[in-house]
Structure 1
Amino acid sequence: MVDRPILEFTPRDIALLRPANETERLAALRDLNILDTAPETQFDAICRTAQVLFDTPIALVSLLDEDRQWFKARCGLNDDGTSRDVAFCNHTILADEVLVVEDAGEDARFGMNPLVTGEPRIRFYAGAPLILRSGIRVGSLCIIDTKPRRFSTEQANQLRDLAEVVTANLRVYQDRSEHRRVAATLEDTDDALRDANTRYASLADALPQMVWTVSPEKRVTAYRNASFRTYYGETERSGGRTHSRNHPGDVERMSSAWEAAVSSKQAFELEGRLRRHDGDYRWHRIVMIPLQRSGEVIEWLGTALDIDHIIAAQNALKATGDLLRLAQEAAEAGIWEWDMRDDVVRLSPMSARMHNLPLPVGRDAMEIPLADWKAQVHPDDLPGVWDEVKRAIADRSTYSCEFRIANPAVPAEPRWMQSFGRMLDDETGEPARCVGLQIDITDRKVSEARIAHVASHDNLTDLPNRAVFHATLEKCLADIGNAPAALLCLDLDRFKTVNDTLGHHAGDGLLRVVADRLRESIGNDGVIARLGGDEFAIILPGTRLEDAQAFARTVIDAIGQPIHLGSQVVTIGASVGIAHAPEHGLEVDLLHRHADLALYRAKAAGRNSFQVYTKGMDEALEDRNKLEFDMHLAHRKGEFRLNYQPIVGLADGQIRGFEALMRWPHPTRGMVSPAEFIPIAEETGLVVPLGAWALEEACRFAASWPIQARIAVNVSAVQFQRPGLEAAVANALAVSGLAADRLELEITESLMIQDGDAVIACLHRLRSIGVRIALDDFGTGYSSLSYLRRFPFDKIKIDRSFVREIDDLDAQAIVRAVVSIGERLGTAITAEGVETEDQLALVTQTGCTEVQGFLFGKPMTPEQALAFMREQSPRKAA
């Protein structure tokens, strides 16, 4: 399988992920009135349940607002939300199904997500959407782990069931909102009817203030307008004493004012907090006016205007002022003033410390000449600073600039300052002073440099990345003039084997060793970049072609040295393609393409070598692309055919089955070898539909045989990597009516190392329905007896290379060992490629149970195979 670089999704890419009904979805979310509400036991309990049920460190109830992700409930995470552009749940709400990311580090959507590369270092994620109604997904119930992990369909269903419980609780909020709206509508209708009773009531109900009347003796409320009833609630009875509605902190003050007003029969006005029907207190401006008749107060008319927002604004303004002062202190900002008339700079204590100047004892500021201030600015920065100052003086405006000053603690690393200033004129309109603020931005500058480095370098090898490679090569070609340049594209041989057998950690270590060896080999003569996976590129400015070839040999020799990875020692190789400018192109993409073509040719030539681009390589690539096109066309037209080669039992010479072999009779090329078209089919994925067709065709043909023999079908590793293999097998059996135990699937050893656990699990499922499993070409790949122990194969097929050398004692010993293992495990042993009587005799002596090869029959058309079966006279062992 060919490694492919992971695509990088930017925050902008992810920010564009929005459901088509986003406006409706947000409206539904906000109608719930749940955002930023306090924790609730039912949501917290669901989170804890999910955390325990799935054994994950983190479980969240996440709601997706327009620009943020807010957690209504969370376990294992301190933050109450994130920005929406990094939220995994932003993907979850795009569909009704559970979203499962088994390894975020290897997922194109999330590999560069800051929640993956940084805290909390998400590697596994599963999220079930919270579906308020059809198409309206307001958030998700999700679980998170810091390690990659598998997630079964059953687990996904369990997570979806828990999400339904969350949704049910959300619908309670939905019902509450609807009830409030209905209640408000009914209340407005009732108020409108009552307002029609009298002109006075209509006027009073239209006022924003609460209006009521109070009897002077009993001090109970009589009339209450709509605002009053709304604030205190319709259910409150008349007769409540006025001070019972006051804030406990205001009761004494308001009671005193009321008693004084009653005694003096004078109106009064004050500010106080009144308790609303829901228990909340809000500030009001309260006015009480006595209504008199014949000099006696018969009633008190009260009004209360809600001024809570005004009080809140005043408090906020005060808090903002305090915050600004504290922020200035926390940011360690220094204040300075430059008197232009005498060129003296006055520094606050913080500014003095920034400039490494000791503040005199007892002084709250210090003065230094402008020349001394300039002397502390880095000489490379001073011209830019002074140009900005002169511009601000001319424009009578503000300025901002950044500059470096000396750092006595680390002289080689000066500190960075950012200075803001404003010019002030004197009474004549001439510039006289400049006042400003200065802050230390050294940490920010260091972070910016680090970010710039990360953005331009591969985080594993610290080599320049693809973007830097492209820009460097573009500049090199633009400046080429009369000096040549070379581009080397390099790909590691056998890297995938190390990565698959020893793990990704070992693969990462190997890539770091390769990067170091490339640096040592190239030195300062060129630029090395990692383009992705195990692909590297080297730009060699001013290098002749013969020198580039010498560099390639050096690189191949360096990489070919043994590499120690912990307790393991591995040896890999390198294939190198060389393109030379100007003769091979002066455009980045063209030169890179030519170097890639040369690399492709080097790998095809046996690897661990280099090739220089030639024009014929374009033609070879075009021929390969034409063959790929013809393959897709042949698949649509049904031009592929199956031939069948018999498999014979050594004990009785009877036919045990046939192996289905794919053939392609090309209309112009003639018969195309499987060795030529199968690799292209696997690379393009066409092997999946071709494989499904082969399964169905072979099973249909086998169902028509006059004998109860088995049909063997080869299955590619690509078919295991893509979904649908098990469904294809089941469909082929169902359509043909063939018994499952007559179908035999042949797999190769190389498949087992790619994802052994997943492959073995799939094989067990296929075995459970009766299908037989054979291990093909045993001994040619990455043979491991552990595979035979972990999965009981029905058959082991010994590769034809052993049969061809069967007269060699070592080859015989190996075959006998495999036969012995097969006998112990109850596994049939088939010898492939038997072509001579001598080979037949020897494989018989070693104990093989079945044979296959030209001696017994070449691959046959379906008609020939049927005739062969009817004859039932295969060649028997001597």
Structure 2
Amino acid sequence: MPHPTLEQERLDALRALRILGSTPEPHLDAVCRIAAELFAVPIVLVLLVDETRIWFKARWGVEGEGIDREGAFCDLTIQGQAGIPLVIPDLLGDPRSADSPLVVGQPRARFYAGVPLALRSGLNLGTFCIMDRTPRPDFGARETRLLGELAVIVEAHLRLHEARVTGETDAARRLMAEGALRQSEQRFRLLAETSTDVIIWSDLDTTRRYVSPAIRTVLGYEPDELVGTKPLDFVHPEDAEAYGLVLDDLTRARIDQASTCQRYRRKDGAWVTMEVSQSLARDPVTNSPTGYVTSLRDITERKAVEDALRLSEERLALALNSGSDGLWDWDVVTGEVKLSDHWASMLAYDRSEIVPDISSWYTLIHPDDVEHSRRTLADHFDGRTAAFECEYRLRAKGGHYIWILARGKVVGRTADGVPLRVVGTHIDITRRKTDEQRIAHLALHDPLTDLPNRTLFWERLTDEIRHATAHATRFAVLTCDLDGFKGINDGFGHPAGDLLLQTVAARLLAVVRNVDTVARLGGDEFAIILSRIRHAHDAGTMATRIIEAVNRPMAFNGHTMSVGASVGIAFGTGDTHDAVALFRQSDAALYQAKAAGKNTYRFHNPSAETARAVPGSLKSEMREAMKRGDFQLLYQPIVELETGTIAGFEALMRWEHPLRGEIAPSEFIPLAEESGLIIPLGAWVLKEACRQAASWPAPLKIAVNVSAIQFQQISMEETVLRALAGSGLPPHRLELEITETILMQKTEAVTRTIRRLRDIGVRIALDDFGTGYSSLSYLHQFDIDTVKIDRSFVVAMTSPRTVTIMRAIVALAKNLGARVTVEGVETRDQLDLVRAEGCTEVQGYFFSPPLPAEGLVRLIATGPSRRAA
């Protein structure tokens, strides 16, 4: 227990603060928030300790105003030396704290670190502490130092509070003295001569007529030495102009009171900071000004504390916001730069190897970055930016350069605004820069072959057209499809198909020139830009070399694989201005090559293109249809049988061909899967369906079909999350309809994908149930939310065998917690039959055909045209 005498002095000092039970302090709450984030702890407290109670002056992570003192860790902390932290890594394992109610009861603390808070030596008024519910054996010297520095900030705020309390008391006394002065000069002199503040009476021309004896202590003058003088003769030159304007307003009675702060010269020549309060005196009868009273208080010490606190907070905030220990502190006047240990270690230097001067710093900056960093710094110095922030490279000890994010701020200026001091941080962003470069590369390159992708291909083609226009050169575009690629995928699997595509990419690169471009546009489709050719036969020769290179067999797991190549060629000249039209010509020539028996090449022939049958171009036209927006979504309602209301809609894709009219999904979906277009097409469907569903009232759901090929993509989850995030649709309102083809893969990746999608709330439906090989087993293996019974069952429900199968499906699905949706209900009799078998939801033409998005508004408002009642 503490010494009784010291304990009484401590309690007296605590009461003198008048702070127990006072309102929250935003600055102290901010320190608690910073500490909680910095140390990743749930509880941070600023505590004040009286005889029996511990008061929460600021808190983070707890409620209430305080706790009993008995059994609290703060009792141990305040008995320590001021500023010395008490750290207990495991409260339960320490005999001093193991039985504490804060350990055995709420908040069940297991870690504690606290620093005594003292205003005077030996008198610890409270603590600044952090607590965690798990032990923290890794809480080391660095963390202890940071905790101590935060405690210094808290102490500084308490000292400011003490100064404010003292100031309020002194201000009250000063007001009483000024009232007495107006009543009687005798009472004025008596009060002035007993005050610790300097009291001065001045005429309206600012000549001093009376100076109180306190001037001896504050400025070192005798009172008589200052009688007859004027204040501006003693004010610092940098403060004189602003203070002169205040005096002018006061003596001309434009204001009655003024409070300022400026530097005064002591008799020994030193400058001290004074808090100056002035009040205009008026004649009680005429109310005309007669002079003014000035009160001077020396606040040099308080000002130093405030400046130090502000600088400390700015440096701490900057360090915490940047998340780095690479700190620097630059004295602009001397050029000296103080660097933290982490700053040097980032560059692999010893501290002794770095000259602490700004000139040596600039020698480390990459020559290409010096001018940019100087301009950015000048912008901050001149006030054009609130802070200095610049990315540049610094030379490490090994001679290589690392990327640095430099942040800083001017924390001291002269009266003229000239920077005196800058503090800041350096963060190593080399990895981020590398990632940015890698992401930029991935955005323009195919991840499988590392060839330029479609985006970069179009950029290169546009650049080639510009060059041909400017220099009257000629070039060629070659479109290449692999003949027999689907057979490789089906026969050997996707790993073999991937290896084949990578091998073909390498062979194409080997036969073209460095100035040419080889791109993979998707699936088994490649494109080549032959830059600046002289003769048409150059392109033919290159096409022959390409076909020969692709034809060479390749090995896979002891097997031999081989494919062919069909190539279409179109030429561009200085008169070419339409990259899309040129590519279409090349694509048309490709199909002419395929029509000629494959594994050959053809130059673009407009007449042959005109004669070519439309069906043969369907795969090629799908790409253009996507660009033109020919694909659209229709929505068919899903009706809940129990209530007769709409539960949601299924999104159905349609293709309106400009020549052939509407093309059935059964015709174009397989082509999209074969060409790889199903990936971007499926992503568009998902994005558009979610966007539309987000405008519907909750809880209407949207059901979207997902291809097996989509599910094989690594980015499937990312595609779903991006669609949800972009639309704002809650995950539980999205239902992905998958088929047995997906589940038959039985890969760990498919299982993980389904599980993670369900974890975020997305529902999974098993589409076309009962038409595959082993559907019943999948209900046990996978978590399925909805089972969709194919319309073929509805058509055949007149058969008792079909009814028996459907009844078994419904019973099994319901036992496993899944809903049952029946597709293709077109008559009242079919509706009555599926209702009798206990199905949950139905959809079909009986209620509504698929409708465009704009046709859903009335349907959602009124319900299906024929109620399910």
**TM-score using structure 2 length:** 0.36
